[in-house]
Amino acid sequence: MPNQLHHVVMLSHSATRFIGFLTDVVGMDVQHSFRVPGQILETTLGWPPSEGADVTILGSGMAGLVEVLDVPEQLRTAAPEGLAALSFLADDYGTMQDRARQFTDDVTVLDTGVPGVDLFICTMGGVPMEFMGSYEAEAMEASAADG
C-alpha cells in the first residue's frame, strides 16, 4: 500500500445534512458507519470526556474518503465544525513513526480496540495527523457488528 492521503475527518453539528450533501450533491456513497468511543476522541482530538460519537465514511476505494464525525450537542462548543484531521495510509508504519518523531514530540500510538487497525497520531501545523499502518475494512465491520 503506498503512502497516500486516506481520508479527511470533518466535524459536523448537522451530520445528517452534511452526509446528505455529500451523497446527493457530490455523489459519494456511504461506505461505513460506526460509533467511536469517547476515549479515542479525547486522545485524538482533545475532546472532553463523552459517550463518543457516530462516524460515517463516504467515498469509494481506499483513498480520497471523507469521514463525517457527528459532534454530540453537548460538545459543540468544545468541537466546532470543520476540518478535524488528515488520515494517511503508511506502507512502512514503523519508519513513518520514527520520521514523525523527528518533527514533533507528541506522537501517540493508539490501541483503537478495532482488530486490523494500527494507528498513531501527531499534530503538525495545528492539524491532527493520523497514520494507519493497516486498514482492514472487513475486520472493522466485524468488530462494529460485534459491538
- Higher pLDDT among residues 26 and 31, named by residue: 31
In the chain, where the domains are located: 4-146
Task: Tell me which residue has cell 497520531.
Answer: 121
| Topology given in CATH for the domain delimited by 4-146 | 2,3-Dihydroxybiphenyl 1,2-Dioxygenase; domain 1 (3.10.180)
Residues 7 and 66 sit within 8 Å (Cβ to Cβ): yes
pLDDT per residue as tens digits for the range 98-147: 989 999 888 999 887 777 778 899 888 788 888 888 655 554 455 455 55
What pLDDT does 101 receive?
A: 92
Task: Tell me which residue has cell 508504519.
Answer: 93
pLDDT band at 5 (very low <50, low <70, confident <90, very high): confident
pLDDT per residue as tens digits for the range 65-108: 999 999 999 999 999 999 999 988 888 888 889 989 999 888 99
